[in-house]
């Protein structure tokens, strides 16, 4: 059986179907155009440059397409790289569906749905549960399809739901340890905290920020969604319990300079923020560490203050 | 005719009706209670301590009451101070309405309304005008009654409307100078930018933050109000023009660390932010400078990075 | 049965034994001395001032003593306060042991020891286990007796051990969720991370910083202790596994400006740091929230950027 | 009539005279030299690379020269670009005067002079007016010729005078609104605030910082100029009115970290600083926005914290 | 022979002449006035409160006066304090000259002058020497009389000259070690760097900031003084050597946020800045350390980021 | 006699032996590999690119090798550059020892040793002297061989010892001036302060950070070394004198954000920190200034906040 992209060793030649995750046209210093590709399959991504691209090829090989690639795995400044020997678009009958090649959440959607449902049952506060269910229904498809971010952490299809569920599990451990923490509030807040991203981002494939993502941001948009949900459910959104639910979500970036309009002023808001941070940090570190061998350092991770991490030999 | 509080000279004794703006009960070092009063009339405020207050007096002389004060104007560490000679509550028939003694906007409400109306006519964009009119109607009373802040700038009855109108005038000068600036957007944004304060603050008398003021903030609440207004007016709030109006308002604190969830990304948003800053700064400086004589420095102004200002002799 | 300090209602008079947690002699503005007491029992602390203290009384009523207090619970600027009616030292036969009145970890020492032992078994790496056991033996008494901080979080007898165990429990949830995390390294790091505090602080009663606490700090001192332990156990402390264990501990404050000489560069170091933060934050919030009623705000919490927190009515 | 540089459409070929605003010689990766040109005419600037430049061509085509360009307008990474087909220096009789191709203030010099004169009349304070007139006379030519900055805002010939006049207009609106503001002080301060730039910068063409610009800065140099003007006019420069005029100018960058040796401590100083900021910000945004179409984002603007701005479709 | 203020032991009663360094009238909580004195003699300062001061006494005992004090040395919150038993103004013939009681530079003025002269000889650059001599002559009296700061470091009569000379000595060691450093430039810069303080401060007794000190600052004022000196000496102040001398002085606070309008861009400017810092730091630490015994910590030092320092027992 | 690398003039061709300080293989935009060399001899370094390198050449010309270079000195973007005409490895009998081509301390090792010995004699405190001598013996070879940093300041063989001695000389000047400073403590601290770098860095040739350098840092490692030295010398490392010595060293980066786990709390610690800064700054400026001519600016210096410095014409 054929190897995947990140399984190739240096100098190995290969043929395989891959997704063009990015295809940027640039000008070489000799005045000719080339395409800077990022090839992707479920094992990850590798870059490769296509020199002297014709205008037809530029039109043909665009971001989001599946292609058949004949190449050689090389090493360039300690980073894996593909030398392109030949490239063609897929023929009829060949596996050309982009989602076949995209990274996925490490858990199946069905399992995530099931696990999420069990947490929904644990939201004992009626209004919160109604709001959460209403919004999960409204954005069900996107919730299980979207990444949790354009890049950085959980930037893969299903990342939003996966991140939500792993946070819920950590939250459960906190609630078991500290009986004073309100699980209903914490769970409801976690489930909704990043749901505004379904309006902030364009989707799972070639993810971009939308206009409202740029000008309003996902934090404000989920607040608007709760406001509208309350109107449809005829819940008074100036009741203390709704104010508190909104606060827990608005404050989840922790600091004003990270885009929350208020800092956490309720215990569950502070906990939600810290768990979000912890889960995203672990995911970013795991993503970088799986690219290196024991005894090596990772690339610098933008979302962790540009630190690089060491993978111990032990 | 009787002098006002800030017109008294040092060592002058007087009798007058004043409002108890603050009445904090504290413990003296001899173990007895005293009340730290802030007396107010339309000329400003002066502090005074009531030593050895009995429990009955503590119940009688509470914040928000009008009293008849017999006192002497003194100077203490360069700050004016009232030595209390006698104090009593008002009798029937005496002028006991708090608003009689509170600082007011330097312009009459009617004039503010009229001027505001002229600016409303200049909002040429139909949806923006409908939203602005809807919300001004909904909160008409509060808009012309509330202060623009709990303390710092425009902290007086009518301050919110006054601040809005002075900003509109400066905005007009900008629009006349730079034809590329969109007056409709700038005016609509200015009129709504602080309207969320009618939910953030408790009112003009003994102003406090409400729970939603603390947990959501006025910036998020005006966004919610626009969202609800659009639903009632059956305007699609995901249209670009509504997104832009919301952005201009969400961004008006300029920096994330000042509580805006997004930084200005539209020219009118940046201008609105800077005009807000300019108008508030001038108001704060005027408030402090009117308390001192030429050749003196003001108190330090919290809202201006704790700077004090010099009033030239020229 | 007699009430405890924090169970008294306003204006209630009472007699009880209490510990003098603090006894600061100050000068009143009339030139006479008074003592500013902080009274303590297991329910918490309340302040009270003793006016016109004689020199004999000043010598008698010192910090760390148990006294018999006849007083009245009052309210002063929204803070509970004791009006002292009478005060005397304990007579023979009366319960004068300070530890009877000090806050304790909410779990018994024996249970903490047992739970800790189970985690020790889960450290599968021989050298790490030997170092951890060696140092736990060396400082066994202090580990289960010391607070985790002079003030802020876990500032009670047994706080160090309690904080260590609650962190271990959260760490277990992380390890269960993310199989790539090394439990041995994370557990060993957690158990040792604050052990240097037994040299940094003077003990559980009247906790102060020692000279080496001030000049070296607990982070450097635990590194020294591991260095010495390795010498005694004839483990080479330049081996990678010891370097890594030291790193995980040195980096646990997360940022250089918080006193770690290096930032986390290993995944388990980053996780340890975030769990430390999370557990300390929850402990600080719980401590402040238990002093207020639903619908009220806590005091500002120094260790959480001086934020105050709201206890919802729900 | 021939199109201008910024009016060309993609793939259009053209012939025109243009100014070489920049001509940087660089080494291509094949070891050969090329020239990175920035072409300029009154419509703006576009870049273009000249591959394989000979040493003669490098000497011929230098910054500041006018050339005849035969080229093709292309698009490269979303930025307009010129593909150079042929290039030659101008022949006798052809329009080779650089100023013909440089961006200019949007108002004629004569109008700026006239408007400035009207403001000079409004400076009612004799000493201030004498100092201002003296320095305007001394640097008259440079004042109407220099840009207001090397890059960022008003970086065109006449930019200094244009920026001064637009600030004066906004200042007038402030003075009309707030009678407590001293127009003489504000106008005198505005006229002089950036005049030190005539010593800080080298001129309108190929603008560079001078040695004294780098080592002293324009803020200190205008202070020196006022000092010398006072000596020549036998005005005592330790009089309060001169101290105040100097302060208003020294403080105009607002913050110490932006190079003002003192922060504003006089109301007019604070207003001058904010108006300077506002006018420069608007100019920077207008400059960037005129390069894009509705629905697009501008380049990032260095002087506005590297933000990019959206041009609404409305 | 009588002891000095800081030589008294706790509970010792005494009679001596002292200077009233400060005499602030305040209001006690019983409504009566008291005076908060700072007594001073050449050994240092101690505070003492005068309770129940009459209006006559308030007029009599003002800052800057010498008085005859009968008091008792006490300890209050670990700080020395004077209990005032009796106080009277001096009679004729008694030593009432304030300078007799003020702290002085630890070296005689004559020695400072002599040492300074030797350094003047080492300024080999003619223009720099003429400027330095001109300004030293102009402000000779003030230079040897003024403190180097209102508080913090060298806040005593002669402090300015003393600080200048100790910096020159350290500078000499640097020049001897690094032959590339220009001694003429470094010495000239050091001698002038704080000379603007003779215009910034009001003098040695009851030192206050002048108006120009507040609005212009000593850094700008010494630049003005050099400008004027050049005009009187007919030196062209746009010559590179004068620009460099000015730069070295303008940049001596090192950072813009500390009030320098430019950062050091010449090696001697950077060295001058660091030596200034070093000498001031040592002086502040010495001042604080001489108040404590080995094994104790000093008060927190404002000018050193509020750190306190430990005096070792060794 | 042949010129050295930094003595060549533009366009001069030459033949000489040089060290390959760096040899990075990169990919040109035409898809071919090239080597980016940094050539070094005792006069400094210059870069040069080797286009179209074969795989054999890439293996041959590696970092740390001596080669015979036939080249031409060119100028590229104002930076000196070598155009490689021919390159070959050294033959037997040719001078191929890397140290012949590396920058050295400007003083001979023997002189540094002698001077250091004189300072050792001035450490009058027995325990400090024993610890210092013990560690100097243990790491004697490395101390006189290592650089003081990987790059930035004193990044040459012997740099560690040279930096130590020049700091000691400046310290002597401070001690002569201020008798209250303890020379024994200051000298002992200076000698040890950077000794941990012998474990942090890999050596003088191709200097890299070691794993313990990255994960523990040189500050913690010298503390460990003192701890171990005390054990071997049977000195109690919890004695105040050892705590103080450790503190002075731990605090030498001055600020927590620069990696010191404690800020200076002893006078000698603060002085050591500032002298370290001063000496390193001078060395960095000298290094940059010797590359330019009078009237020019240096490159930006990373370790001095990225400032560039001007070399005056005077």
The DSSP-derived string for C295-310 is: T-BPPPBGGGTTB--B
Asked if C198 has any chain F CB less than 8 Å from its own CB, the reply is: no
For residues A274, A275, A280, A282, the Cα torsion angle rounded to the nearest 10 degrees is 100
Write the pLDDT tens digit of every residue in D174-220: 999 999 999 999 999 999 999 999 999 988 777 889 999 999 999 99
Tokens of residue B285, six digits:
């400086």
The structure's pTM equals 0.89
Helix (H) or strand (E) holding C271: helix C267-289
Report the CATH fold assignment for D109-286.
Hypothetical protein af1432 (1.10.3210)
The predicted structure's pLDDT at residue A97:
87
In chain C, whose CA is at the least distance from the CA of F212? Answer: C243
Asked if E172 has any chain C CB less than 8 Å from its own CB, the reply is: no
Distance from CA of F16 to the nearest CA of E (A): 30
Q: Is the pLDDT of residue D54 over 80?
A: yes
- Residue of D282, D297, D313 to mutate, testing the B interface (most B Cβ within 10 Å of its Cβ): D282
Q: Which of residues 121-160 of A touch C (CB under 8 A)?
A: 125
Kindly report the backbone phi and psi dihedral angles of residue D8, in degrees, each rounded to the nearest multiple of 5, phi listed first.
Answer: -65, 150
- Residue of C26, C27, C28 to mutate, testing the B interface (most B Cβ within 10 Å of its Cβ): C28
In chain B, whose CA is at the least distance from the CA of A226? Answer: B224
For the segment D90-118, the average pLDDT, to the nearest whole number, is: 89
Percent of chain D at pLDDT exceeding 90: 65
Q: Which of residues 220-249 of B touch A (CB under 8 A)?
A: 220, 223-224, 227-228, 231, 237-238, 240, 243-244, 246-247
In chain B, whose CA is at the least distance from the CA of C84? Answer: B31
In chain F, whose CA is at the least distance from the CA of C226? Answer: F224
Of C59, C12, C15, C62, nearest in space to C41 by CA = C15
The predicted structure's pLDDT at residue E30:
60
Look at A60-69, A140-149, E60-69, F71-80 and tell me which has the smallest mean pLDDT.
Answer: F71-80
Q: Mean pLDDT, chain F, as a whole number? A: 91
What CA–CA distance (Å, rounded) separates A73 from A13? 6
Distance from CA of A27 to the nearest CA of C (A): 38
Q: Is the pLDDT of residue C64 over 90?
A: no
Q: Between E56 and F263, whose confidence is greater?
A: F263
Would you call A266 and C240 a contact, using CB atoms and an 8 Å cutoff? no
Distance from CA of F113 to the nearest CA of C (A): 29
Tokens of residue A137, six digits:
């229904």
Distance from CA of F309 to the nearest CA of E (A): 5
Asked if D49 has any chain A CB less than 8 Å from its own CB, the reply is: yes
In chain B, whose CA is at the least distance from the CA of D269? Answer: B309
Of F181, F266, F286, the CB nearest to E312: F266
Look at A46-50, B57-61, E11-15, E52-56 and tell me which has the smallest mean pLDDT.
Answer: E52-56
The predicted structure's pLDDT at residue C98:
86
In chain F, whose CA is at the least distance from the CA of E307? Answer: F265
Size of interface C-F (CB pairs under 8 A): 88
Would you call D30 and A30 a contact, using CB atoms and an 8 Å cutoff? yes
Residue B206, SS3 per DSSP:
coil
Long-range contacts of F288-291 (CB under 8 A, 24+ apart): F289/E180, F289/E267, F291/F6, F291/F44
Distance from CA of A91 to the nearest CA of F (A): 29
Of D246, D254, D240, D278, nearest in space to B307 by CA = D254
In chain B, whose CA is at the least distance from the CA of D170? Answer: B173
- Neighbors of chain F with 3 or more C-beta pairs under 8 Å: A, C, D, E
Sign of CA dihedral E172, E173, E174, E176: positive
Radius of gyration of chain C from its Cα atoms, rounded to whole angstroms:
22
Look at A278-287, B15-24, B273-282 and tell me which has the smallest mean pLDDT.
Answer: B15-24
Of D212, D231, D246, the CB nearest to E243: D212
In chain D, whose CA is at the least distance from the CA of F52? Answer: D30
Q: Is the pLDDT of residue C255 over 70?
A: yes
Size of interface B-E (CB pairs under 8 A): 20
* Alpha helices, H only, E108-181: 109-121, 126-138, 140-143, 159-177
Helix (H) or strand (E) holding C24: strand C13-27
What CA–CA distance (Å, rounded) separates B299 from D262? 18
Asked if A263 has any chain F CB less than 8 Å from its own CB, the reply is: no
Q: Which residues lie below 8 Å from residue B78, measured CB to CB, with a gap of 6+? A: none
Would you call F26 and A77 a contact, using CB atoms and an 8 Å cutoff? yes
Asked if F306 has any chain E CB less than 8 Å from its own CB, the reply is: no
Which residues of chain B have a CB within 8 Å of the CB of D178? Answer: 282, 286
Q: Which residues of C203-232 are buried (b: 16+ CB within 10 A; e: fewer)?
A: ebeebeebbbbbbbbbbbbbbbbbbbbbee
Look at D45-49, E27-31, E140-144, F231-235 and tell me which has the smallest mean pLDDT.
Answer: E27-31
Would you call F274 and E277 a contact, using CB atoms and an 8 Å cutoff? yes
Asked if B76 has any chain E CB less than 8 Å from its own CB, the reply is: yes
Which residues of chain F have a CB within 8 Å of the CB of D27? Answer: 76, 81
* Alpha helices, H only, A178-299: 183-193, 197-200, 211-215, 218-232, 240-250, 267-289
Helix (H) or strand (E) holding B167: helix B159-177
Would you call B241 and D314 a contact, using CB atoms and an 8 Å cutoff? yes
CATH number of F5-101: 2.40.50.140
Write the pLDDT tens digit of every residue in A43-73: 888 889 998 888 889 889 988 899 999 999 8
What CA–CA distance (Å, rounded) separates A17 from A89? 9
Strands (E), F121-266: none
What CA–CA distance (Å, rounded) separates E312 from C104? 36
Cα–Cα separations (whole angstroms), residue F282 to B93, C34, F279? 81, 56, 5
Q: Is the pLDDT of residue E58 over 80?
A: yes
Percent of chain E at pLDDT exceeding 90: 65
Would you call C243 and F216 a contact, using CB atoms and an 8 Å cutoff? yes
Q: Between D6 and D264, whose confidence is greater?
A: D264
Q: Which residue has the tokens 């910590």?
A: E297
Q: Is the pLDDT of residue E29 over 80?
A: no
Domain boundaries defined on chain A: 5-101, 109-286
For the segment A146-159, the average pLDDT, to the nearest whole number, is: 82
Asked if A92 has any chain B CB less than 8 Å from its own CB, the reply is: no
Which residues of chain F have a CB within 8 Å of the CB of C228? Answer: 227, 231
Which residues of chain E have a CB within 8 Å of the CB of C35? Answer: none
Which residues of chain A have a CB within 8 Å of the CB of C180? Answer: 286, 289
Which residues of chain B have a CB within 8 Å of the CB of E26? Answer: 76-77
Would you call E30 and B49 a contact, using CB atoms and an 8 Å cutoff? no
What is the band of C283 on the pLDDT scale with cuts at 50, 70, 90?
very high
In chain D, whose CA is at the least distance from the CA of F312? Answer: D211
Asked if E285 has any chain F CB less than 8 Å from its own CB, the reply is: yes
Write the pLDDT tens digit of every residue in A216-246: 999 999 999 999 999 999 999 999 999 999 9
For the segment E174-203, the average pLDDT, to the nearest whole number, is: 96
The predicted structure's pLDDT at residue E75:
76
Of A173, A182, A286, the CB nearest to C170: A173
Distance from CA of F218 to the nearest CA of C (A): 10
- Neighbors of chain E with 3 or more C-beta pairs under 8 Å: B, C, D, F
Asked if D310 has any chain B CB less than 8 Å from its own CB, the reply is: yes
Asked if D34 has any chain A CB less than 8 Å from its own CB, the reply is: yes
Write the pLDDT tens digit of every residue in E92-139: 889 988 888 887 788 899 999 999 999 999 999 999 999 999 999 999
Which residues of chain E have a CB within 8 Å of the CB of F310? Answer: 265-266
Would you call B274 and D270 a contact, using CB atoms and an 8 Å cutoff? no
Of E192, E206, E223, nearest in space to E147 by CA = E206
Q: Between B224 and C288, whose confidence is greater?
A: B224
Would you call C30 and B30 a contact, using CB atoms and an 8 Å cutoff? yes
């Amino acid at each position: 059986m054929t190897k995947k992209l990140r399984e190739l060793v240096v100098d190995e030649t290969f043929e395989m179907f891959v997704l063009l995750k990015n295809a940027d046209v640039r000008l070489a210093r000799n005045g000719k155009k080339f395409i800077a590709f990022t090839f992707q399959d479920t094992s990850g991504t590798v870059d490769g440059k296509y020199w002297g691209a014709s205008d037809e090829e530029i039109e043909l090989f665009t971001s989001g397409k599946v292609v058949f690639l004949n190449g050689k795995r090389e090493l360039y400044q300690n980073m894996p790289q593909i030398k392109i020997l030949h490239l063609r678009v897929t023929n009829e009958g060949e596996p050309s569906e982009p989602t076949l090649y995209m990274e996925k959440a490490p858990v199946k959607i069905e399992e995530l749905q099931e696990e999420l449902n069990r947490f929904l049952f644990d939201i004992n506060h009626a209004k919160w549960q109604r709001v959460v269910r209403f919004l999960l229904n409204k954005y069900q498809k996107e919730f299980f399809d979207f990444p949790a971010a354009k890049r950085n952490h959980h930037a893969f299809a299903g990342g939003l739901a996966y991140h939500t569920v792993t946070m819920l599990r950590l939250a459960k451990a906190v609630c078991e340890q500290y009986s004073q923490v309100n699980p209903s509030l914490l769970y409801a807040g976690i489930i909704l905290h990043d749901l505004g991203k379904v309006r902030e981002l364009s989707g799972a494939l070639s993810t971009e920020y939308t206009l409202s993502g740029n000008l309003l941001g996902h934090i404000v948009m989920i607040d608007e969604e709760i406001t509208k949900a309350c109107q449809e459910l005829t819940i008074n959104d100036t009741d203390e319990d709704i104010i508190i639910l909104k606060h827990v979500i608005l404050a989840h970036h922790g600091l004003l300079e990270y885009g929350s309009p208020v800092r956490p002023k309720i215990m569950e808001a502070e906990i939600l923020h810290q768990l979000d941070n912890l889960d995203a940090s672990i995911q970013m570190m795991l993503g970088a560490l799986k690219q290196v061998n024991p005894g090596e350092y990772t690339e610098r991770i933008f979302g962790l203050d540009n630190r690089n991490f060491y993978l111990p030999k032990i």
